[in-house]
Amino acid sequence: MTTDLPAIIAADYLPPLSPDLEELHRRSQETRRASKAKGTLRAYASALRSFDAWCRAHGLASLPAAPETVVLFVEAEARAGRKVSSIEVKLAAIRFMHLKAGHVPPTASQLVIEEMEGIRREIGVAPAKKRAATAALVADMLDHVPTDTLKGKRDRALLLLGFAGALRRSELVGLDVADLEIGTDGITLTIRRSKTDQEGAGHIIGIPNGAKLRPVEAVTAWLEAAEIDEGAIFRPIGKGCRLQPGRLSDRAVALVVKHYAAAAGLDVDGFSGHSLRAGYITTAAEHDVDLHRIMDQSRHTDVRTVRGYVRRTNLFRDHSGAGFL
């Protein structure tokens, strides 16, 4: 027997409550929804729709799902060319759904565990690396950004602030004017919430004025042209170059990066919203910046992640075989 699986995310399994407890119950639902990022809940809902559709197509129950059903689903996903990371998200969603509904998660079964161990060995878990938009590549992109249109000013500010702050795309579009403090040396930028700071402790980083790319100049030019003095920094622009209400989506960051990568004659498929963040780290490594100073800007919590960028950058520097190959 199947059900509306995404609805399980918001469901509660409680007896009828007295009127004086209804408000507390409503507030507790909001509090518990905040325990997971909105992006995670969206990913779970999408994964559950996929699982439900597959189960329906094969006449299998999705809630509660038998371990054998999950194993078959995982095998089908792998045969369809899904990445290990994508399959793992779907398994996490299935586990979450069963726990919410008061069932034992089938994902804890030894059958499912062994299936995933085999899938990881077959497919491999190395993520596909997107190309880093280094300072040189960002400069090439900027040559194709209009300087006399509102959209051009926004896109220039977005590319440069994303690069200079080594920002994740969700962090970039989540910025408000109140998060900027513009001084003589540059911008003091407060990042109130991020992937590694879900509880909102916040991070403060500096964005220097710069002598080459000049990110601060681009940001101030955009805010002045758009007459934005509060709320979201990056917003949609509609027909007739009219500023739209609301906040730019994180997906739009990837589209902007790809658009100007294509304009610069670069391979669009190699670029994503993450390219700006990766580009800053890579460029800093090329300039022999201390690893921990890079981490001050990127806010990575695991030094091994940043060391991976540095190692790729320095693959041929002082190579052990340089003297005899």
**Is 258 an annotated catalytic residue?**
no
Per annotation, catalytic residue among 90, 258, 277, 299: 277
Q: Yes or no: say if 270 and 137 are a contact pair by the CB < 8 Å rule.
A: no
Distance in angstroms (rounded) separating the CA atoms of residues 243 and 246: 9
Distance in angstroms (rounded) separating the CA atoms of residues 172 and 190: 11
Per annotation, catalytic residue among 195, 293, 311, 312: 195
Distance in angstroms (rounded) separating the CA atoms of residues 315 and 313: 6
For residues 162-189, one letter each, b for 16 or more C-beta atoms within 10 angstroms of the residue's C-beta and e for the rest, the string is bbbbbbbbbbbbbbeeebbeeeeebbeb
Nearest CA to 162 out of 226, 211, 205 is that of 205
Per annotation, catalytic residue among 90, 154, 299, 300: 300
Distance in angstroms (rounded) separating the CA atoms of residues 264 and 109: 50
**Is 300 an annotated catalytic residue?**
yes
**Is 277 an annotated catalytic residue?**
yes
Which token pair is 16? Answer: 């009828």
Residues with Cβ within 8 Å of residue 142, at least 6 apart in sequence: 156, 159, 160, 213, 260
Which token pair is 162? Answer: 């994303």
**Is 251 an annotated catalytic residue?**
no
Amino acid at 170: S
Per annotation, catalytic residue among 154, 274, 280, 299: 274
**Strands, E assignment, 83-229:** 180-182, 186-191, 203-208
**Is 144 an annotated catalytic residue?**
no
Q: Yes or no: say if 284 and 276 are a contact pair by the CB < 8 Å rule.
A: no
Please report, in angstroms and rounded to a whole number, the separation of the first and last CA atoms in the chain.
Answer: 65
User: What one-character DSSP code corresponds to residue 17?
Assistant: P
Per annotation, catalytic residue among 131, 153, 168, 235: 168
Which token pair is 199? Answer: 């509880």
Distance in angstroms (rounded) separating the CA atoms of residues 152 and 75: 46
**Is 168 an annotated catalytic residue?**
yes
Beta strand pairing call for 180-182 and 203-208: unpaired
What positions carry a catalytic annotation?
A: 168, 195, 274, 277, 300, 309
